[in-house]
Structure 1
């Protein structure tokens, strides 16, 4: 059974900037997305945000695309923030475990400056990589219970 799919894999070399969409990414066990500025040996190795959440932020003047919220994985068809901590997702060759739901928005958040609000603190989630490998656009997300 699949519960959603990956729209985009997004990467940046530095923190505090939008991430650039890619068709695929290599995820390293206990580290995160290879060559991404947010990867490391900590609990927020990979960030995920649904396209449905991104679309909530749009209006007639502002359009967003995958990576604009600095998320590593943009998903579709799954309500990420409804899953409890410890939930595991099998995506492509990888196994991820949810370690945090939401986060405090930092003062320099460009989205918050533009719109007065940012969806990432409420609907974005973070995970650590339990099993590394390749994740590609259109890979399915399988929720393990």
Structure 2
């Protein structure tokens, strides 16, 4: 079984961020935990989420690859010790191209399953005062991705992600990003992505609707 290093597990309380003249609630300012924490079907015990874009059973946990940090370094302010994009787990070696929708991982006492890519929203741009960040994230495909929790349990610093099952459809997170960010998606792209049975229950109906409108 392949294991991947988890560099940090992050949580945050909801705070107010400002972007231009707009102020809004966000839990992007995450910091690493220092002790074990329960991971439930809706996320880490001490992590707050704004439900309009994040959270719920289909987006219980967000991962961002440390492999991409160097891409952003020098272009925007990097904060030592903080989650770059408000991710819950920062990992090494696991990324959008080698991870599939439906892949399952053992994480501490928990079992988690990949559900969909993270779709960049204006709050990330607001955090760094970089309006162009969303476009840059889409063009690079360096989005990170979400998990649902199949088995609850305690996770702690030093735990690793161990891949216990690869989804048979082998639809990579990268493939889903290509579909989501395409200016003229093809029916074959929708059909391919929809082969992933574990695709989130929130994203699947949206893709089916768009496929039917072609």
> How would you bin the TM-score normalised by the shorter chain?
0.7 to 0.9
Which string of whole-angstrom CA distances, capped at 9 and with x for unpartnered residues, describes residues 42-66 of structure 1? 3111101111112221017732444
TM-score, normalised to structure 1's length?
Answer: 0.81
Which string of whole-angstrom CA distances, capped at 9 and with x for unpartnered residues, describes residues 14-56 of structure 1? 1243101113442433211102112853311110111111222
Cα gap change, 1:69 to 1:128, in 2 (>3 Å): same
1:87 lines up with 2:103 in the alignment: yes
| Secondary structure of the structure 1 residue equivalent to 2:58 | coil
1:133 lines up with 2:175 in the alignment: no
Structure with higher strand content: 1
TM-score, normalised to structure 2's length?
Answer: 0.58
Match of 1:23 in 2: 34
State how far apart, in whole Å, the 2-side matches of 1:86 and 1:48 are.
Answer: 15
- Count of aligned residue pairs for this structure pair: 145
Whether the 8 Å CA contact 1:11–1:35 is kept in 2: the answer is yes
Pairs within 5 Å for 1:1-145? 1-14=1-14, 15-38=26-49, 40-59=55-74, 62-65=77-80, 66-80=82-96, 82-106=98-122, 109-111=125-127, 113-114=129-130, 116-117=132-133, 119=137, 122-145=142-165
| Secondary structure of the structure 2 residue equivalent to 1:71 | coil
> Over alpha carbons, which structure has the higher Rg?
2
More divergent stretch after superposition (8-17 vs 39-48): 39-48
Whether the 8 Å CA contact 1:25–1:34 is kept in 2: the answer is no
User: CA RMSD of the aligned region, Å?
Assistant: 2.7
Whether the 8 Å CA contact 1:94–1:133 is kept in 2: the answer is yes
Structure with higher helix content: 2
